[in-house]
Amino acid sequence: MMLDAALLKGGKRVSYGARAISDGGLQSLPKLTFPGGVLVGDSAGFLNVPRIKGTHTAMKSGMMAAEAAFAAVQAGRAHDELTAYPEAFEASWVKKELSIVRNVVPLVEKFGEIVGAGLANATMWLESWSIRMPFTMKHHANHESLWRKDQVKPIEYPKPDGVLTFDRLSSVFLSNTNHEEDQPVHLTLRDPNVPVEYDLPMFDEPAQRYCPAGVYEIVGQAEGDPKFIINAQNCVHCKTCDIKDPTQNINWVVPEGGGGPNYPNM
């Protein structure tokens, strides 16, 4: 933190945003095609996690999909499912690159940051020399990893100092996020009773902490009448709630009219 403070000294907070990273890698890729469409880039999960790079793989996946679509139209198969796209992926350098790093995240999660990172580096080095590991480790769903509130001790964070650390709401202001107020709320609940009746007693309703924009709140708890509030206007479209909600009760849907954050400095 002292090194970070020295690097950031004299800096100015100019913008704010958040994004959940799709870090499942090769073994978490979904079916890439469906009738009338395809999944490319980060929506499919073409991210090289240890290098935190995905622009090159996203671009290549888009190129492969475009080539498959062009060939289908030229052949008069405009309404077919583009099976040539996943076939091209299987033979591409994208598949090879993701295969080399496929076990990195699972190894770190299973064996920790020291031993797991060492094993991950060893497997990446061997696979980069075409010495393939005879195993592919599996992932678990992210929402299954939360600990119950009785298993953890609350962390007391210092108040934001306005110099190096900042409160969420003033940061959200800098994201220039906006949603038309008369549109349907794009953060929906499959069961509106779950947040208070299950998530609150079991997990102390984690949405009020993992959301980087202060969208979710529990109010009235001190008075014995807790209510789950959704401030959808604040949403910066990071998709964390859709991924992390322990009961998968929160469903993020596309808002109307292109609403959301607007990053003028990017």
**Does residue 14 surpass a pLDDT of 80?**
yes
Its sign, for the CA torsion 13, 216, 232, 198, is positive
- What does the pLDDT read at residue 172? 92
pLDDT in tens, 213-232: 999 999 999 899 999 999 99
- What does the pLDDT read at residue 266? 58
Top-confidence residue, 99 or 129:
99
Q: Work out the pLDDT band at 3, boundaries 50, 70, 90.
A: low
- What does the pLDDT read at residue 140? 83
102-106, 107-111, 155-159, 256-260: lowest mean pLDDT where? 256-260
pLDDT in tens, 21-64: 888 899 999 999 998 899 999 889 999 988 889 999 999 999 99
- What does the pLDDT read at residue 245? 96
pLDDT in tens, 122-163: 988 888 888 888 888 888 888 998 999 999 998 888 999 988
Q: What is the 3-state secondary structure (H, E, C) of the chain?
A: CHHHHHHHCCCCCCCCCCCCCCCCCHHHCCCCEECCEECCHHHCCCCECCCCECHHHHHHHHHHHHHHHHHHHHCCCCCCCCCHHHHHHHCCHHHHHHHHCCCHHHHHHHHHHHHHHHHHHHHHHHHHCCCCCCCCCCCCCHHHHCCCHHHCCCCCCCCCCCCCCCCHHHHHHHCCCECCCCCCCCEEECCCCHHHHHHHHHHCCCHHHHCCCCCEEEECCCCCCCEEEECHHHCCCCCHHHHHCCCCCEEECCCHHHCECCCCCC
Question: What is the Cβ-side half-sphere exposure of residue 230, based on CA atoms within 13 angstroms?
Answer: 15
CB-based contact 47:23 (threshold 8 Å) = yes
- What does the pLDDT read at residue 21? 86
- What does the pLDDT read at residue 219? 95
Give percent above pLDDT 70 in the chain.
98
pTM (two decimals): 0.80
167: left (phi over 0), alpha (psi -120 to 50) or beta: beta
pLDDT in tens, 73-84: 998 887 788 999
**Does residue 265 surpass a pLDDT of 80?**
no
Distance of CA 133 to the CA centre of its chain: 27
- What does the pLDDT read at residue 257? 78
